[in-house]
């Protein structure tokens, strides 16, 4: 007698549903305690996560627990420099603003509010009409989404502009910006700041006697040596052609010269090979330092580092020279 066993059919599970985006969080700061229950209910029915605070203390607590996507403010006392505006300003981020819809009593209050520096705001006259508020909330959130998208795109473009595509170092434009920022920081905190200008010796001869692709390989190898010999807090960039720049915050002249000598030695022991070409590469380095205290300018720092670089070239190349003020006058092109 044969016993038949039922064949189990494998169960098919439906594919998981895609996660739904979180509902935008709306913080209604009803500090004036007007009857806004109808408005809040309409916002909830429209799919928003509505939080209601009827005091400044509650608003602070709720905003600290969860940063809202939009604020509806019914102020108790609206004045420049007041605690309510201070709370709103604390929510703002440069790349991610929080829009504010302000409920105002009359046209005079509207005029006064427009003169205040309320970030990313819109206005509704009281008594607030529910349909109008819903429309303004929708527009404000749409504008915020567009602003955030533009910020992301701007960061992407900035990263492209800030990097030299041949070497992976910072671009000249970005280095000039960083140089200005670090100079101000050094002045404010009275910290030393060192600048190294690095130039590949006889690079024109390399390009004239080989292919440009080999010249690009030389630049990449020099850039790799620079990156390997600086700290995470330092900046390395390409200043066009065969010249590079190193910015060393909080670095004394002795430390800067030590770094320059280490870089010169490492590159001098390097042979670049690619295809049928092979070259030994050397660099000349000019150094100047700001002590954080003397009366000087960023232009002086760059000019003196360039004079030191020219002196290193004049003395036979493959040299490091610290600016001393006794250098020969730079040659005119």
- What confidence tens digit (pLDDT) does each residue in 58-96 have? 999 999 999 999 999 999 887 777 888 888 888 888 778
Is 234 tagged catalytic? Answer: no
pLDDT classification of 160: cutoffs 50, 70, 90:
low
Side-chain half-sphere of 183: how many Cα atoms within 13 Å? 17
The Cα–Cα gap between 207 and 301 comes to: 30
Reply yes or no: is the peptide bond before residue 127 cis, omega within 30 of 0: yes
The Cα–Cα gap between 254 and 256 comes to: 5
pLDDT classification of 159: cutoffs 50, 70, 90:
low
Q: What is the pLDDT of residue 59?
A: 94
Residue 133's CB is within 10 A of a number of other CB atoms, namely: 19
Question: Which of 154-163, 190-199, 233-242, 283-292 is predicted with the least confidence, judged by mean pLDDT?
Answer: 154-163
Question: Which of 161-170, 191-200, 228-237 is predicted with the least confidence, judged by mean pLDDT?
Answer: 161-170
Kindly name the residue from 69, 164, 201, 242 that is annotated as catalytic: 242
pLDDT classification of 49: cutoffs 50, 70, 90:
very high
Over residues 214-229, the pLDDT tens digits come to 888 999 999 999 999 8
The Cα–Cα gap between 285 and 196 comes to: 7
Question: Which of 44-48, 150-154, 230-234 is predicted with the least confidence, judged by mean pLDDT?
Answer: 150-154
User: Using an 8 Å Cβ cutoff, are 94 and 117 in contact?
Assistant: no
Residue 303's CB is within 10 A of a number of other CB atoms, namely: 14
Work out the mean pLDDT of the chain and round it to a whole number: 87
Question: What are the distances in angstroms from CA 177 to CA 113, 294, 303?
Answer: 36, 22, 17
**Would you call 21 helix, strand, or coil by DSSP?**
coil
Q: What is the pLDDT of residue 332?
A: 39
**Tokens representing residue 289 in the block:** 């330092």
pLDDT classification of 15: cutoffs 50, 70, 90:
low
User: What domains are there in the chain, each with its CATH number?
Assistant: 25-160 (3.40.50.2300), 172-322 (3.30.70.270)
Q: Look-up: residue for tokens 């390009």?
A: 207
Q: What is the pLDDT of residue 333?
A: 30
**Would you call 137 helix, strand, or coil by DSSP?**
helix
Q: What is the pLDDT of residue 21?
A: 74
On the question of pLDDT at 179 being above 60, the answer is yes
Q: What is the pLDDT of residue 328?
A: 63
Among 205, 196, 273, residue whose Cα is nearest residue 231: 196
One DSSP character per residue, 290-312 reads E-SSSS--HHHHHHHHHHHHHHH
pLDDT classification of 134: cutoffs 50, 70, 90:
very high
pTM of the predicted model, to two decimals? 0.54
């Amino acid at each position: 007698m044969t016993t038949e066993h039922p064949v189990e059919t494998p169960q098919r599970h439906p594919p998981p549903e895609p996660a739904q985006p979180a509902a935008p969080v709306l913080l209604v700061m009803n500090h004036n305690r007007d009857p806004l229950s109808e408005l809040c209910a309409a916002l909830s029915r429209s799919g928003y996560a509505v939080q209601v605070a009827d005091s400044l203390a509650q608003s602070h607590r709720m905003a600290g627990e969860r940063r809202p996507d939009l604020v509806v403010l019914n102020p108790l006392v609206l004045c420049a420099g007041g605690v309510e505006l201070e709370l709103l300003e604390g929510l703002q981020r440069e790349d991610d603003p929080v829009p504010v819809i302000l409920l105002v009593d009359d046209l005079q209050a509207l005029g006064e509010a427009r003169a205040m520096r309320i970030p990313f705001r819109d206005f509704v006259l009281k008594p607030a009409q529910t349909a109008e508020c819903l429309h303004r909330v929708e527009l404000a959130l749409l504008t915020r989404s567009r602003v955030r998208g533009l910020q992301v795109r701007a960061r992407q473009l900035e990263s492209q502009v800030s990097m030299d595509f041949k070497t992976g170092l910072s671009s000249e434009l970005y280095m000039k910006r960083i140089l200005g920022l670090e100079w101000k920081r050094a002045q404010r905190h009275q910290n030393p700041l060192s600048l190294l200008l690095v130039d590949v010796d006889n690079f024109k001869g390399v390009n004239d006697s080989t292919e440009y692709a080999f010249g690009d390989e030389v630049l990449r190898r020099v850039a790799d040596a620079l990156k390997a010999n600086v700290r995470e807090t330092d900046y390395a960039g390409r200043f066009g052609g065969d010249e590079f720049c190193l910015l060393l915050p909080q670095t004394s002249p002795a430390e800067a010269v030590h770094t320059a000598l280490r870089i010169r030695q490492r590159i001098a022991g390097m042979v670049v090979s690619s295809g049928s070409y092979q070259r030994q590469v050397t660099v000349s380095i000019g150094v100047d330092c700001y002590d954080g205290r003397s009366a000087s300018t960023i232009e002086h720092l760059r000019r003196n580092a360039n004079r030191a670089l020219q002196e290193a070239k004049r003395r036979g190349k493959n040299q490091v020279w610290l600016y001393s003020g006794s250098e020969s006058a730079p040659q005119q092109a």
